[in-house]
Amino acid sequence: MIMEFDLEKFILEITRVLVFRDTEDVFNKLSEIISENCGALSSSLMMFEENRKLLRLVGTSLVDKTWVRKLKIPLSKFENKDFNLLLGNELGVLKGNPNNLGIVFPVIFENKLVGALFLEVSNRKDLEEFEKVFKGFQEILGILMVFLMEQTELKYENIRLKLIESLDINVVEVEKIEDIFQRFLERVSRILEVEYTAIWTFESENLVLKAWKGFSENEIINYIVPKDNKLLDMINLEKPRLIIDKDSFEFLKRLLNLKFKSVILCPLYVDEKPFGLIMLANKIETKHYRPYKHLDEFELSMVINSSRKLSLLIENFINKKKLEELIETQKKQIQKLNAVYKIIQAMNYSYDLNNIFKILLIGLVSELGFGFDRVLLLLRDKNKQILKGKMWLGISEDRKDMEIYEKLKKHLSIYGDFADYLRQEALSLDLSGYLNSNLENIQINYIGNDIFERVVLRKALVNVQPQLIEEKRNELYQLIKILGTDSFVCIPLTGKQEVLGVIIADNKYSQKILSESDIKLLKLLSSSAGLVIETRMSLLEIQEKNREIERKSNYYERLSKFTEELLNSLDAAIIVIKTDGMIIEWNKRAEEFFGKTREQVIGTHLKTLGTEFAELYDISASVYYKANKGELDKIYESDDDTIVLNEYFLSPRYGKYFNIKFTPLRNINKNTFDGIIIMLEDVTEYRNLTRELQQQEKLAMLGEVAARVAHEIRNPLTVIGGFANRLKKKISDDKSKHYLEIISDEVKRLEEILDEILEFGKDYETVEFENFDFNKLVREILELYGDKVLEKSTKLKTEIPEKEIIVFGDRKRLKQVLINLLKNAIDATNRGKIDIKVYETDKNACFSIKNNGKPIPEELKDKIFMPFFTTKTDGTGLGLAISKKIVEDEHSGKLYLETGDDWNKFVVEIPKKGVGKDEKEKGINSG
């Protein structure tokens, strides 16, 4: 399973390994960390050996480490292929399961291949996701592998050299590289018995004397080697040289005021690059017999070995510094990454837009955040196309600003959580100092300004430096004058679609420089903070619109009649025809109702649209005629010159009922009628709702009457049953006993019918809501009635998801509904088939039960949910009525019937969150 990659956690774990673990096992541990963090089945690391052109396995997360350092893959395996490919038998030993897949990713550092990462995956679907995860830590992995490779080489090279030489300098204890040079020269001088030793190194392309032994500063002529001095040629030759010719020392005498007898010059290379030069001069006179007194090939070989040792020491020292810098940098970046998360977290918890702005500014200037000296917030005015000053926070020459800044800095240690600090300090932060008093003067026109067009229109973060200032000084003059610095960063606050504002941040006083990692983290903060601000702005806009609607509601109440007419006209289809029947207006609602666009009907005769419109035309002609004659046909309900048709069924083609109003189109100037306005209001839903309401009222009344009758019948029925049972005990006549048993059975049946009647009339308040698994409930019912299905030789097909569907409702009542539907399906099916399906939508849990057989006739569909209506010979007709009451009245759901050529299907839809009595009443009142 692919996990969300946590870069911060990954870096922390790697840092612990580098600091505390033995390097022998570091690649294995690194492989384990990669597996744990990216969710791969296993991972293995391979190092690229350039001289041999192959990849060697150096670490794996597998338990079996047999192939570590033994497995080698030639680079030719990847020639003319995509490097990121699946490997089969070549790396089969690196898979815990041979049936799994393996994918290899190249590890690149400074555009060079340094190794590869092998990941074991279970299926091809995960490959693209693993590529995304790998990109998250590819760069850091490259740095680590290069570093570890170099450290490994240094370690084994040092071990080998220690066996040959006695030079051993602990670079961990050395603070400056010059100390290494000095110790090196002291030991070489002593071991090789040399009079003078010196080391030159390159600095800014110059060769500079950095350390010496055997002579004083007074004897130094030139610290920097001139460009024409032959000493530079010694480095270019790349080979050590032994000089014993006295006439060949002139170039050295121009640098050092010494008497040279024999000299060894050895170029010093670090990481295969020219680093400097080692000089040994003059053999010291010893007590041992020597045929000659100058340096010879032995000292030359020792210098070569020593120079290699020194190169390794220097390289080790540099790598130590790099590692220290890398660890320190990563710590700072982790802190800043955490700060981004905490800033966004604090912003998300606040609903006041000004507090959100303050949280962002505090996070940017805080030491636990990005540590900027000052930050300025500019908000975008799209209409005026300008950036306007909003807030400014940070170091200032003003006393009040500095008090605010110092107070924030002091309070930082009080809080245990950075997000809490940001939220609490933002609430009490007073930004009325010098910095914010100047904000009203800041208005930047971003159109035509190259810098701010990039920031605002292209959503780019721009790091402004002095060189850019020189090029764009006129465009940035206003901002430079206010900031008083030529180095700052412009950070866009980017929403989903556009930039909402810009943060200007600088380090005018501390002169801290932004790193590439800082820029990346600021981009992350830019988009995240922008989305939070955009969300809050949208929320405030919605709240303001709601308040505006509320303010206008009183006005609408005072003009209720006018508003009602206006709203009715907007919600109705408007057709305007001339006196000859030609259509001159056809609004959007008419397009929706009748499926014809305005362009299609304008200029055509109303009759050409169909017979139903021909009827409307005939009525329109009557209106026109009667209006001109001053008479009205009595068969129409009318008011003045208007004819109204209520709940008019236009035609089966549209299947809708309309309230239709025919009004003459008056020309006030000419005092004539130029046509007819036909307004059609769709009242189909209203008509259906009215009928449904009437039906519910009837059902409620019927339920109440049935409940009262049931209560009245229950007592005498109980008496009849009781006396029948007593008589059975006293009468010995078998025939009489038989009759009494019939009476008792019928009494029981009547009591069951009464129970159903009382259940139908039960009050809604008796419902008890709880959270439960809807799927589990369905499975329980299927288990209860499984035998009954088998008895009727009925095939049962179920489709129930494994995932839970949690519903808030009355479990017992809904169980009764599902049992009723299942029993009805079983009774209606013999040697047939029943299909049961459970599924969910965004809001509802759904249950459908379908059985094959004769479909319920169309004329009975509305009746089957009526109380006491049944097609069974032994039923009460209350089962479906009670079920509909439970689903729709008690749970605000739906229970309906669908039919086909040879099947019936009942569908139940229950809101997953549940709707109780109070919520239902609120919904009714608001409707």
**Two domains, one topology: 350-537 and 765-926:** no
Average pLDDT for 390-410: 82
Confidence at 392, pLDDT banded by 50, 70, 90: confident
Q: CA distances (Å), 233 to each of 191, 222, 294, 324, 896, in order?
A: 28, 17, 23, 35, 98
Domain boundaries along the sequence of the chain: 7-160, 173-322, 350-537, 539-565, 570-682, 688-761, 765-926
Greater pLDDT, 434 or 685: 685
Bigger pLDDT: 709 vs 144: 144
Residue 860, pLDDT score: 75
* Residue 116 predicted with pLDDT over 70: yes
Query: Does the domain spanning 7-160 belong to CATH 3.40.50.300?
Result: no
pLDDT at site 199: 93
Q: Are 180 and 174 in contact (CB under 8 A)?
A: yes
Residue 256 pLDDT greater than 90, yes or no:
yes
CB 546 within 8 A of CB 364: no
State how far the Cα of 280 lies from the Cα of 273, in Å rounded to an integer: 21
Could you tell me what percent of the chain has a pLDDT over 90? Answer: 15
Q: What is the pLDDT of residues 303-357, one digit of tens each?
A: 888 888 888 888 888 888 878 777 777 887 888 888 889 899 988 888 888 899 9
- 564-582 mean pLDDT: 70
- Which whole number is the average pLDDT over 796-818? 91
CA distance 852 to 829: 7
| Cα distance between residue 640 and residue 628, in whole Å | 12
Quote the distance between the C-alpha of residue 409 and its chain's center: 33
Q: 3-class DSSP state for residue 454?
A: helix
Determine the average pLDDT of the residues in 6-29: 72
Whole-angstrom Cα distance, residue 792 to residue 505?
80
Q: Calculate ∠ Cα 718-723-726, nearest 5°.
A: 130
Contact 38, 3 (CB under 8 A): yes
Rounded Cα–Cα distance for residues 882 and 758 (Å): 10
Mean pLDDT of the chain: 79
The mean per-residue pLDDT over the stretch 744-758 comes to 65
Q: How many angstroms separate the CA atoms of 63 and 81, rounded?
A: 31
Query: pLDDT digit string (tens) for 688-720?
Result: 777 666 666 665 565 566 666 666 676 676 767
The confidence score (pLDDT) of residue 92 equals: 81
Under a CB-based contact definition with an 8 Å cutoff, are residues 195 and 281 in contact? yes
pLDDT, position 639: 47
Q: Does domain 173-322 have CATH number 3.30.450.40?
A: yes
Q: Reduced to 3 states, what is the DSSP secondary structure of residue 589?
A: helix
Q: What value does the mean pLDDT take over residues 447-463?
A: 89
- What does residue 515 show for φ and ψ, rounded to 5 degrees? -90, 170
Nearest residue to 882 via CA among 777, 810, 808, 827 = 810
CA atoms within 13 A on the CB side of 585: 13
- Residue 272: CB atoms within 10 A of its CB come to 7
Name the band, by pLDDT with cuts 50, 70 and 90, for residue 430: confident
* 125 vs 54, more confident: 54
Please state the rounded mean pLDDT for residues 225-230.
90
Longest dimension (CA), the chain: 154
Is 844 within 8 Å of 909 (Cβ atoms)? yes
Indicate whether 153 pLDDT > 80.
Answer: no
CB 274 within 8 A of CB 314: no
Question: Looking at the domain that runs over 350-537, which CATH code has it been given?
Answer: 3.30.450.40
Q: Indicate the range of 16-25, 558-567, 728-737 predicted with least confidence.
A: 558-567
Cα 796 to Cα 805, 815, 817, 832, 846, distances in angstroms: 22, 19, 19, 9, 18
Least-confidence region, from 66-75, 125-134, 183-192, 477-486:
125-134
Strands (DSSP E) contained in 683-793 are 770-773
pLDDT of residue 908: 93
Using DSSP bridges, classify how beta strands 488-494 and 642-649 pair: parallel, antiparallel or unpaired: unpaired
Tell me how far apart the alpha carbons of residues 375 and 365 are, in angstroms, rounded to a whole number. Answer: 7
Count the Cβ atoms, other than its own, within 10 Å of residue 366. 21
Q: Is the pTM of this model over 0.85?
A: no
Q: Which residue, chain included where needed, has tokens 């640098």?
A: 255
pLDDT of residue 640 exceeding 60: no
DSSP 8-state symbol, 886: I
pLDDT at 715: 64
CB distance 821 to 849 below 8 Å: yes
- Tokens representing 199 are 């080391």
Name the range with the highest mean pLDDT among 203-207, 653-657, 836-840: 836-840
Which amino acid belongs to residue 531? L
Residue 270, both tokens: 């670090």
Angle between helices 127-164 and 297-349 (to 10 degrees): 150
CA distance 99 to 95: 8
pLDDT at 2 over 60: no
Enumerate residues 6+ apart whose C-beta is below 8 A from 861.
Answer: 897, 899
What b/e readout covers 730-742, taking b as 16+ CB neighbours within 10 angstroms? eeeeeeeeeebee
Question: Which CATH number applies to 765-926: 3.40.50.150, 3.40.50.620, 1.10.150.120, 3.30.565.10?
Answer: 3.30.565.10
79 pLDDT above the threshold of 60: yes
pLDDT tens string 494-523: 988 899 999 999 998 888 888 888 888 888
Alpha-carbon torsion 310, 313, 316, 322, what sign? negative
How many CB atoms sit inside 10 A of residue 483's CB? Answer: 17
Confidence check: pLDDT of 11 > 80? no
Higher-pLDDT residue of 436 and 142 is 142
Provide DSSP, 365-412: HSTTTT--SEEEEEEEETTTTEEEEEEEEE--SSHHHHHHHHHHHHHT
Question: Which secondary structure element, helix H or strand E, spans residue 289, and what is its range?
Answer: none
CA 346 – CA 334 distance, rounded (Å): 18
Burial (Cβ within 10 Å: 0-12, 13-18, ≥19) of residue 790: exposed
Give the CATH class of 570-682: alpha beta
* Gap between the Cα atoms of 927 and 921, Å rounded: 10
Sheet holding 263-270, edge to edge: 206-213, 194-203, 273-283, 263-270, 241-243
CA distance 603 to 598: 10
What is the crossing angle of helices 297-349 and 7-20, to 10°? 150
Residue 71: what residue type? Answer: L
**Would you place residue 225 in the very low, low, confident or very high pLDDT band (cuts 50, 70, 90)?**
very high
Strand partners, 55: 48, 73
Antiparallel, parallel or unpaired: β 795-799 and 833-840: parallel
pLDDT at 4 over 80: no
The residue ranking higher by pLDDT, 745 or 377, is 377
pLDDT of the residue at 628 = 59
- Residue 557 has what pLDDT? 66
> How many residues would you count in the chain?
927
CA distance to 42, 108, 147, 779, per residue, from 34 (Å): 9, 17, 17, 43
Give mean pLDDT, residues 1-19. Answer: 70
Angle 130-136-141 from CA coordinates, rounded to 5°: 100
Indicate whether 155 pLDDT > 60: no
At 881-914, the pLDDT tens digits run 888 888 888 888 999 889 888 899 999 999 998 7
What is the rounded distance in angstroms from the CA atom of residue 297 to the CA atom of residue 835?
Answer: 98
Q: For 383-393, what is the mean pLDDT? A: 88
Judged against a pLDDT cut of 70, whether residue 610 lies above it is answered with: yes
Model confidence at 361: pLDDT above 80: yes
In eight-state DSSP terms, residue 224 is: B
pLDDT tens track for 827-874: 888 788 999 999 999 999 999 999 987 888 877 776 777 766 566 655
Closest CA to 259 of 250, 271, 270: 250
Range in 275-289, 390-404, 636-650, 762-776 the model is least confident about = 636-650
Task: Answer whether residue 596 shows pLDDT above 70.
Answer: yes
Residue predicted with more confidence, 220 or 738? 220
Between 689 and 122, the more confident residue is: 122
Question: Taking residues 86-113, what's their average pLDDT?
Answer: 80
Tokens of residue 927, six digits: 């409707």
